[in-house]
Chains A and B, each alone.
Chain A
């Protein structure tokens, strides 16, 4: 589900041109819209305590599976909790899981990719082959096995999703790194006699970061996606917490009793993934105009 072929390295613009990346980004309407949408979602969900009309864990036993009404805009769930509030708080959970998972996968992936890139020979090769093999397995399967091993809880989900997306990031990190190693300022740094560590920290990392950050948006979208799939088989966050994935699953389970229940979580997943994917693409396009 990654947008761009991760094995073909991007041509990074030289430093001077990079300052115009932001303006290039903002000139794309798609980028602006997706930024706004993502912003709205983040505000709405993380501001849930202020925005949500009810608490997500308070039940009204007289209104089980209530249809949408003025008092409950999206209706109520199986034990009478307000669905709008559940969707908002659920968004908080989904986005938190996605954000942490992205951060973890970026950290692991960058470390993995850099080590593989900096060490020539067998080690680098094996590390990359392991990444290949891990990418070849369906994410769902790996997710299932890991959840079976470590139990389903918010924390384990974050770790599992982080581990799941690390290999693709590692590949990208490595190929970006290798492109950097061939650049002129890197040769200059080496000839001046800078140590390896210094080069990594002051030259390589800052130059590869933009590309990797562009990828972060796509990883976040994937994380929401896979979390929804895992929740669909019942292995997502635990009740009474909800995420969009578990709400979708609960709604689907009760589809014939309340057809409105799964629609809103489903739409939220769709919109969030769409917006994050578009944002990620736009950033990548802004970084390398020859590819737009």
Chain B
């Protein structure tokens, strides 16, 4: 054996050895996960101590303006840096935040809010009714892209009654205004130009360092009306991908990780860690189609797609059972109280799917395109490949395409674009209130461009119905219409999985999958 040959063999053996070392050091799959409870609410803190490092995979915090937030990963910042008039407590009840009390007129169209007098922005500027009004108007401004706007759209006027009282007038009666105002965070509108980078709010923490898309560090705010914030330093860091995030969590470099993928749950689980117990379903994985053009403008084609979707296998393969399949093609999850149990389901039936596709004029050999994201949401690709194999059995083709975020969005967003023959993988966030959840099927909201006048009318009516049983009837009707028309394919509902080391206490996850750290503390 010549020297060079020896070397080549050694080189290859070394390579094998290195990879075998990796084999030895990474652990294999374990038993299915159990999601554990968090601890009960804790007492207020006497001093700020400890560091909490929070990991987010795939994307970072790019800007801090609370009125234009568009990334769920930075939701904790909304309650760490800012306050709104109202907020949810860990039992998902609407309680006072900057507003100490409120009342409504009998017709539910006029509301008065009394504000607390000791809230301050950075540099000591006090929060007053003027600020409340300015923030609400800013969210209502159509030229400001705000997620909260659709829920407060019906506000007709906001008036400053006194320094610490405002009056809001609505166009139609609504019992849900305090709920809607939870998301209108009170930013420092005296400093609009710097909102994206300053993080200036009335909340318990303030920004000490911000590197956009990379990391943000928070320290307790000296002018918070609640006294002392519990943690001395909170750092949000961006991890390149989920596997790296899990690696760092297991290594002890991260204290909490957001949006753990089902495939990583056994690896994350250990005696020193626990999962936050979410209060409701965080969101739905859906497939959107364009109901105004191409093959899917025919309702039969959409129903056919529903019948061709093997949801049970997809949940098993992509989510390891940690999601709820949606047999009724319903925006509301089957685990929710507001779910319409009388929906006719779409069981997985390829024969029926073929019949309906034929009736809709979709000839064998037609190719659809599945449009997905690169680098994120690998679960969609798993599900799409299952769909691909199933469609092939009935003579149809599915091309799977992954693109980067910008190209992906450009195809179908915002609502109103035409994309015949595309099936777009998307994720609908599920707010706890059914009114807001069902809103996502409405025209202008849904990128599926579906317009059903009955659905729209019912959507407008629901918030004004005070009797809960009667309101539920409205919701049932809306779900039934949606299920029949099948404007999108709701594949499964999932809750956001958030893991934490045992030394983190007081963190909780709301019904929309957002993490709340404002009551959190770090032991040791």
Chain A residues near B (Cβ < 8 Å): 28-30, 33-34, 57-59, 61, 64-65, 67, 78-80, 147-148, 151-153, 233-235, 238-240, 250, 252-260, 263, 266-267, 270-271, 274, 278
A78 and B317 form a contact (CB under 8 A): yes
Cα–Cα distance between A240 and B382 once the two chains are bound (Å): 10
B316 and A64 form a contact (CB under 8 A): yes
B4 and A255 form a contact (CB under 8 A): no
Residues of B within 8 A of A80 (CB): 317
A61 and B317 form a contact (CB under 8 A): yes
A33 and B5 form a contact (CB under 8 A): yes
B28 and A259 form a contact (CB under 8 A): yes
Least CB distance, A32 to chain B, in whole angstroms: 9
The yes or no answer to B91 lying at the interface (CB within 8 A) is: no
* 5 shortest interchain CB distances as A-B pairs: A234-B374, A256-B267, A234-B375, A259-B26, A30-B4
Least CB distance, A36 to chain B, in whole angstroms: 11
A-B contact pairs, 13 of them (CB 8 A): A30-B5, A59-B389, A67-B28, A234-B374, A234-B402, A238-B401, A239-B384, A252-B241, A254-B263, A257-B263, A258-B28, A259-B26, A267-B16
Which residue of B is nearest A61, CB measured?
B313
The yes or no answer to B123 lying at the interface (CB within 8 A) is: no
Please indicate which of the listed interface residues A151, A256, A267, A278 has the most CB atoms of chain B within 10 Å of its own CB: A256
Task: Contacts A239-B400, A263-B22, A267-B19 given; indicate if A256 touches B27 (C-beta within 8 A).
Answer: yes
Which stretch in B105-113, B403-411, B505-513, B514-522 binds the other chain?
Answer: B403-411
Residues of B within 8 A of A28 (CB): 4
Cα–Cα distance between A30 and B3 once the two chains are bound (Å): 9
A253 and B404 form a contact (CB under 8 A): no
A252 and B5 form a contact (CB under 8 A): no
Binary A-proximity of B363-406 (CB < 8 A = 1, otherwise 0): 00000000001111010011011101100000000011111101
Which of A58, A65, A257, A260 is B23 in contact with, Cβ under 8 Å? A260
Task: Contacts A61-B313, A64-B317 given; indicate if A238 touches B266 (C-beta within 8 A).
Answer: no
Least CB distance, B154 to chain A, in whole angstroms: 40
The yes or no answer to B358 lying at the interface (CB within 8 A) is: no
Cα–Cα distance between A254 and B29 once the two chains are bound (Å): 10
Residues of A within 8 A of B374 (CB): 152, 233-235
Least CB distance, B60 to chain A, in whole angstroms: 15
Residues of A within 8 A of B407 (CB): 148, 151
Chain B interface bracket (under 10, 10 to 19, 20 to 34, 35 or more)? 35 or more
B26 and A79 form a contact (CB under 8 A): no
Least CB distance, A47 to chain B, in whole angstroms: 22
Residues of A within 8 A of B316 (CB): 61, 64
B388 and A240 form a contact (CB under 8 A): yes
Which stretch in B7-15, B172-180, B199-207 binds the other chain?
Answer: B7-15
Residues of B within 8 A of A59 (CB): 385-386, 389
Least CB distance, A271 to chain B, in whole angstroms: 7
Task: Contacts A64-B316, A257-B266, A257-B267 given; indicate if A235 touches B404 (C-beta within 8 A).
Answer: yes
Cα–Cα distance between A238 and B373 once the two chains are bound (Å): 11
A259 and B386 form a contact (CB under 8 A): no
Known: A29-B2, A270-B12, A271-B15. 5 other contacts (CB 8 A): A59-B386, A61-B313, A235-B404, A238-B399, A259-B23
Please indicate which of the listed interface residues A153, A238, A263 has the most CB atoms of chain B within 10 Å of its own CB: A238
